[in-house]
Amino acid sequence: MQAIILAAGMGRRLGELTRQNTKCMVRVNGTTLIDRLLTQLSRLSLNRVVIVVGYKGEELRRYIGARFDGSLRIEYVENPVFDKTNNIHSLALAKEQLQQDDTLLIESDLIFDDEMFSLILSNPYPNLALVAKYQTWMDGTMVCIDSDNNIVNFVPKKAFDYADTGRYYKTVNIYKFSRDFARHKYVPFLEAYSKALGNNEYYEQVLRVITFLDKSELKALPVTTEKWYEIDDIQDLDIATALFSEGDEQLRQYMRRYGGYWRFPGMLDYCYLVNPYFPSRRMKDEMRANFDTLLTEYPSGMQVNALLAGKCFGVRQDYVVPGNGAAELIKSLMEHTAGRMGVVCPTFEEYPNRRPAGMLEVFTPENDDFAYTADDLMDFFASRPVDTLLLVNPDNPSGNFIARADVLRLAAWCGERGTRLVVDESFVDFSTGYASNSLLSDDVLEAHPRMIVMKSISKSFGVPGLRLGLLASADTELIGKVKKDIAIWNINSFAEFYMQIYSKYEADYHLACEKFQDERRRLAEALDGISFLRVIPSQANYFLCQVLPPLTSHGLTASMLKRHNILLKDCSAKRAFGGRNYVRIAVRGSGDNDRLIRALKSME
């Protein structure tokens, strides 16, 4: 067995990183792609490694030097016209070597788990292409396979159809060819194809022609949990850095992103908090049906979107400000909030982080579950006057909930004292009896003009990608100030259309909330069965869990990511925990939650 590595390309899309080096000399977590690959190959007892070089080929030769002498016999093939040809020509230049032994064919811009070579070499079939089920981040050559894993078609870019992605597999660009296959099938077709169509093509096109034969002899070998990535540009490099980092660095790489985890295949995000059962399929279908229009048309301005937000939540247009997520509105509100602010810790820290530390009055519940009532808040702040009191209800991360009647008592108490009450009810629709728990009504707002209600539509409505939130108050002077802070087109057309059609699907939303509560009860019971977790009761779509010795919250979070590709929220750094070990675990759909529980049980 030998290996042939194609490393002649210029890697223009990597910009400065390939100005002086070929693409395989780019570093991921401090190690060049070529070093990683040659180290992996050195463990396979190969007869030789043939590297086809072109762009910066001499630099690559010097870099490799004699460092692998004794473990690999490395030979080079030169492609002097690398800038005028494609990889079909690079492989054609190595066609003599290709016919001399069974071959692993590898592209040099890949990073992948060591297990990938074991996977392909242990399979008895002599001619294989490693493939992975299509996902949105993938680009390049796709294949279709039958039930016996025969490759029945290579799908060129021009023939790619998003309607067929359920059938597609992406080639990983690691192949195994027998010597007989190379001699009697691949090389003859390679020569004929190059003669007919030239050298500015891809070697996969030859494989595509071969699959049209009655007996192509080429099968696919799907990868499952093995990690791999193809690095074509700086975003690919950024993602690969996160995928292949280790220990604390891996966790840091993921947490610094604050989302976008759909780029990482197979990850379960238990960190960010959304309704797993809404929007309904029919609502998504209506959004899809209007995609072209929404993408190519401007959204309306603030006046229309405030009208839509008010319509959705039963609030007057001049009482409401829609935002590009609640985060945009929180920033503006905090800039218009003077004096001392009372907060509960632990809580959602976007609010207190936007206030000077010396202007915060902090209440910390003195019990193991971080539970508190409206009376607790009134008792505490009665002797510690504040200008603004923040209540996140249900609270994040504790899940503590104060009933609507008690919140209104608190609002009246604040009003009597001249204190502004900010109630963030982003998670209120997850609470028991949710349909009557919201404060969003004209009557309530008018009865308590010093109260402000904040709501993130991302959470319970399951649309964080739309970035929607709203702020409501009968204090029209404050509402006017916040509206002036915000760009006229702060809401995109997709978010605007979502608000326009929501009322048609309100019954579906209520069903989703009921279904969610059933799943929350089921997950709570399952988490209670994990020996190293103490689960705190919650009225939100997450559970705060104390991690018991000998495990730590950091160790659990890092291990769940590394071993199971599941991302939890380590809360130990939050105020009030004092470094004690707590994690927050979201409530997802039943299938995902079952996978989570299996992963947690494996760590007992």
pLDDT in tens, 50-81: 999 999 999 999 999 999 998 999 999 999 98
Q: Assess whether pLDDT exceeds 90 at residue 438.
A: yes
Is residue 314 domain-shared with residue 391, that is, in the same domain? yes
Q: Burial level of 296, CB count in 10 A (0-12/13-18/19+)?
A: exposed
- For the segment 561-570, the average pLDDT, to the nearest whole number, is 93
Residues 6+ apart with CB under 8 A from 491: 299, 300, 305, 322, 323, 324, 468
CATH for 589: 3.90.1150.10
pLDDT for 237 beyond 80? yes
Answer yes or no: do 426 and 569 share one domain.
no
Residues 501 and 516 in one domain: no
Whether 6 and 137 map to the same domain: the answer is: yes
Number of domains in the chain: 3
Residue 142 tokens read as 């796709």
CA distance 422 to 386: 12
Among candidate residues 507, 535, 564, the one where a domain is terminated: 507
Residue 345 belongs to domain with CATH number: 3.40.640.10
At which of 484, 507, 530 does a domain end?
A: 507
Domain that holds residue 362: 281-507
Express as a percent the part of the chain with pLDDT over 90.
Answer: 77
* pTM attached to this predicted model: 0.86
CATH number at residue 121: 3.90.550.10
Do 406 and 534 lie in a common domain?
Answer: no
Q: Do 144 and 96 have their domain in common? A: yes
Q: Are residues 20 and 107 in the same domain?
A: yes
Residue 214 predicted with pLDDT over 70 = no
Same domain, 254 and 321: no
Is the pLDDT score of 408 beyond 90?
A: yes
Of 239-248, 274-283, 500-509, give the lowest mean pLDDT range: 239-248
Do both 518 and 428 map to the same domain? no
Which residues contact residue 593 at a Cβ distance below 8 angstroms, ignoring those fewer than 6 apart?
519, 522, 523, 526, 587
The average confidence (pLDDT) of the chain is 93
Kindly state whether residues 203 and 320 are assigned to the same domain.
no
Does 483 lie in the same domain as 388? yes
Share of the chain above pLDDT 70, in %: 100
Query: Do 513 and 502 fall into the same domain?
Result: no
Q: Is residue 228 scored above 70 in pLDDT?
A: yes
Q: What is d(CA 381, CA 558) in angstroms, rounded to the nearest whole number?
A: 39
pLDDT digits (tens, 9 = 90+) for 152-195: 888 877 888 888 888 999 999 999 999 999 999 999 999 998 88
Q: What is the pLDDT of residue 537?
A: 97
Measured in residues, the chain has a length of 604
When pLDDT is cut at 50, 70 and 90, the band that residue 558 belongs to is very high
Chosen domain end from 219, 239, 259? 239
